[in-house]
């Protein structure tokens, strides 16, 4: 019997609780004073009235590393979890459709900040440890209901400020403009979440804003790639980190994209997920959720930079040592890292598949049986689809 989503979720929760008890520097306090990375978080529980607030560590100084996924590649799982457990999350219940008032304005100013502002939070009662995870956003530490929140010494990012005050700019256009100006994706995601973009503004739960940002950027990149010439070789890129093994195969074809995931459970069984698209894009929400758009973004960046388009297959094996999911950022950054390496060039699609599966415990036959792209290409010659 294949493992269910509930089985996998329970296993993740158990591992997360073990990390909390073993590594977390959790404290119970009715206040916290420190330097926010800066960071804001919008919850999804109780939607459309959700918990919204800053995340602040009990540390002063440059704390930016605690909420900067773009800088976590190469860090161990334990290091990343400890970064996150130092962040105390303050919350107030706010309606997502009415992002107004001084409290939200202060959080928007915090999200715009390009430094680590001094932050002082006072809670209604002592904080409690948080033990839930969602797999999309990175975890965090204790949580408390905010009584007062004060921020000072903020230095505003001018590009974000410009988008914030432009009420005629669509949210998607603001995302693309900021990305093209060099603003980190994680920063853009926070600003979208706290209701800073678009004509009719609203709050977006953090887990949704992460996927929405990756989706908007990857879609924009692919729209440009579609006008480029096709790649003329078969290339295999690989990368491993945090118990995740990635293989990316590019082959001569107009833009088509498939991502497949395989994961292990404690019972030794395997679970699989796969989603794909052609030049028209994906017509459903991916079964593998935000990981799909994160991987697509990393590959599309590579193709745009080289003014090429290609058929793309991304394989991700999630091994047991990935004990605690730390967010889909690690998919995006792993694929980005893979695409910076010198690829293995092979002569045929078959050789590319062999190379892509070489470092995985999942066989080529298993991958072939789960996706649709590979079966389609093997049934007919590639030239039939050009």
With a CB cutoff of 8 Å and minimum separation 6, the contacts of 72 are 79, 80, 83, 329, 330, 333
Task: Let me know if residue 221 belongs to a domain.
Answer: no
Average pLDDT, the chain: 89
**DSSP 3-state percent helix, strand, coil across the chain (nearest 5):** 40, 25, 40
Residue 373: predicted pLDDT: 80
Task: Let me know if residue 163 belongs to a domain.
Answer: no
Q: How confident is the model at residue 111 (pLDDT cuts 50, 70, 90)?
A: very high
Distance, CA of 302 to CA of 335 (rounded, Å): 10
Of the candidates 167, 174, 256, the residue with the CA atom closest to the CA atom of residue 217: 174
Tokens representing 326 are 């730390």
CB 374 within 8 A of CB 313: yes
Task: Let me know if residue 166 belongs to a domain.
Answer: no
Average the pLDDT over each of 29-38, 112-121, 364-373 and give the range with the smallest value. Answer: 364-373
Across 35-56, average pLDDT:
95
State phi, psi for 289 to the nearest 5 degrees: 60, -140
As for how many domains the chain has, the answer is 2
Distance, CA of 117 to CA of 135 (rounded, Å): 28
Residue 3 in this model has a pLDDT that exceeds 50: no
State phi, psi for 376 to the nearest 5 degrees: -60, -45
287 and 153 part of one domain: no
150 and 295 part of one domain: no
Residue 383 in this model has a pLDDT that exceeds 50: no
Q: For 272-321, what is the HEC assignment?
A: EEEEEEECCECCCCCCCCHHHHHHHHHHHHHHHHHCEECEEEEEEEECCC
Give the strand pairing for 256-264 and 270-277: antiparallel
147 and 285 part of one domain: no
Query: Whose structure tokens read 């990175």?
Result: 138
144 and 268 part of one domain: no
52 and 138 part of one domain: yes
Last residue of a domain, one of 127, 157, 187: 157
Query: Whose structure tokens read 């689809």?
Result: 385
Task: Let me know if residue 117 belongs to a domain.
Answer: yes
Distance, CA of 362 to CA of 378 (rounded, Å): 19
136 and 23 part of one domain: yes
Residue 245: predicted pLDDT: 97
CA dihedral sign, ordered 220, 235, 287, 336: negative
Q: How confident is the model at residue 133 (pLDDT cuts 50, 70, 90)?
A: low
153 and 231 part of one domain: no
Q: pTM score, two decimals?
A: 0.90
Residue 254: predicted pLDDT: 94
Tokens representing 371 are 């996706």
Task: Let me know if residue 322 belongs to a domain.
Answer: yes
Residue 376 in this model has a pLDDT that exceeds 80: no
Last residue of a domain, one of 157, 182, 199: 157
Residue 23: predicted pLDDT: 45
Last residue of a domain, one of 157, 184, 214: 157
**What DSSP character marks residue 341?**
S
CA dihedral sign, ordered 343, 240, 338, 288: positive
Residue 136: predicted pLDDT: 65
Q: 132 or 282: which carries more pLDDT confidence? A: 282
Query: Whose structure tokens read 């293995």?
Result: 344
24 and 118 part of one domain: yes
23 and 150 part of one domain: yes
Residue 317: predicted pLDDT: 96
151 and 233 part of one domain: no
Average the pLDDT over each of 116-125, 137-146, 272-281 and give the range with the smallest value. Answer: 137-146
CB 53 within 8 A of CB 97: no
238 and 99 part of one domain: no
Q: 381 or 149: which carries more pLDDT confidence? A: 149
111 and 230 part of one domain: no
pLDDT digit string, tens, across residues 251-309: 999 999 999 999 987 777 889 999 999 999 999 999 999 999 999 999 999 999 999 99
Task: Let me know if residue 167 belongs to a domain.
Answer: no
CB 328 within 8 A of CB 294: yes
Average the pLDDT over each of 7-16, 62-71, 116-125, 366-375 and give the range with the smallest value. Answer: 7-16
Average the pLDDT over each of 94-98, 216-220, 300-304 and give the range with the smallest value. Answer: 94-98
Task: Let me know if residue 218 belongs to a domain.
Answer: no
Residue 15: predicted pLDDT: 57
Task: Let me know if residue 348 belongs to a domain.
Answer: yes
- What is the residue range of 243's domain? 226-385
């Amino acid at each position: 019997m294949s493992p269910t989503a509930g089985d996998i979720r329970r296993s993740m929760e158990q591992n997360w609780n073990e990390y909390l008890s073993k590594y977390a520097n959790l404290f119970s306090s009715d206040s916290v004073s420190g330097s926010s990375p800066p960071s804001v978080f919008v919850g999804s529980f109780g939607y459309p009235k959700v918990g919204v607030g800053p995340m602040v560590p009990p540390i002063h100084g440059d704390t930016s590393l605690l909420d900067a996924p773009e800088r976590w590649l190469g860090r161990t799982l334990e290091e990343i979890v400890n970064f996150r457990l130092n962040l105390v999350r303050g919350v107030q219940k706010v309606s997502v459709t009415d992002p107004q008032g001084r409290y939200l304005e202060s959080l928007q100013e915090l999200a715009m900040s390009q430094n680590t502002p001094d932050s002082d939070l006072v809670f209604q009662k002592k904080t409690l440890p948080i033990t839930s995870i969602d797999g999309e956003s990175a975890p965090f530490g204790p949580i408390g209901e905010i009584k007062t929140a004060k921020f000072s010494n903020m230095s505003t990012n001018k590009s974000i400020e410009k988008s914030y005050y432009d009420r005629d700019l669509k949210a998607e256009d603001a995302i693309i403009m900021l990305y093209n100006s060099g603003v980190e994706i994680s920063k853009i995601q926070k600003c979208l979440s706290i209701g800073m973009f678009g004509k009719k503004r609203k709050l977006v739960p953090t887990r949704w804003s992460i996927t929405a940002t990756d989706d908007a950027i990857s879609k924009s990149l692919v729209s440009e790639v579609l006008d480029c010439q096709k790649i003329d070789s078969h290339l295999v890129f690989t990368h491993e980190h945090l118990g995740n093994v990635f293989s990316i195969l590019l082959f001569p074809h107009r833009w088509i994209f498939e991502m497949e995931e395989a994961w292990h459970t404690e019972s030794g069984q395997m679970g699989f997920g796969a989603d794909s698209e052609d030049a028209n894009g994906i017509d459903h929400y991916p079964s593998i959720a935000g990981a799909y758009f994160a991987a697509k973004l990393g590959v599309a960046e590579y193709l745009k930079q080289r003014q090429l388009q290609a058929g793309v297959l991304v394989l991700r094996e999630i091994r047991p040592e990935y004990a605690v999911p730390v967010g889909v950022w690690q998919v995006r950054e792993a694929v980005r890292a893979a695409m910076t390496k010198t690829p293995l060039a092979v002569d045929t699609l078959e050789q590319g598949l062999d190379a892509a599966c070489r470092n995985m415990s999942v066989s080529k036959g298993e991958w072939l049986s789960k996706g649709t792209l590979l079966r389609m290409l093997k049934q007919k010659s590639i030239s039939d689809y050009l």
